[in-house]
Structure 1
């Protein structure tokens, strides 16, 4: 089971800055950062989230990913995954579950691998086929 939360911020997602904001080490000028990550940061929300995932899917262990346009900052995607996965609050709230970031590049590469030449039934599918045919790759 794979559960995905989307953060489609066009400038990208700075994993280090957001984690520092969550920990209270950096101020967010707009609003409390935890509100955008409540299912992994707040124990009450996390428990309700996990209960709902189990109610709907029948599984209590799952992969949780934050989908982003791209990652920003000075660390690699693997380092970002590890930093968030090992944070005590996130690790406790997602106990037994895997955590990762999922970038548009990851999604585009996966889509490219699975494309066929049979005309797609959607505009985005057809666009993806044409981009692949033009050798425009992730």
Structure 2
């Protein structure tokens, strides 16, 4: 009876683990950026699991993530059709290529992305208690070593 319980637990654990591995985003073997994103997400997930978050904090973090996703979805829908070479006509004329305008627009977009990431991270940190923030900082530094 005890052996049957142990085997059942092992089988369920293996099945859940296999499902979790295949449930993530499909990265190509040579896509190092995608692999790095997955590693970073799992590292952050581990850190947050160690913080002993309350149900309210977990809910607030979930709402924060959903809000950030909705915001990004809106931004992506606005720029639909402006990907690749489609928007380059704004910088090319008979006189040549307006390098400065291109660089200015690229810097604005990069600055906007950075600000949105910083705002999201700040909201996340503000959900934590002072003790959890301290523990978070310690765990984050350990992961970076």
Fold match, TM over 0.5?
A: no
Larger relative contact order (Cα-Cα within 8 Å, sequence gap ≥ 6): 2
More helix, by proportion: 2
Rg: which structure is higher? 2
TM-score per shorter chain, which class?
under 0.3
More strand, by proportion: 1
TM norm structure 2: 0.21
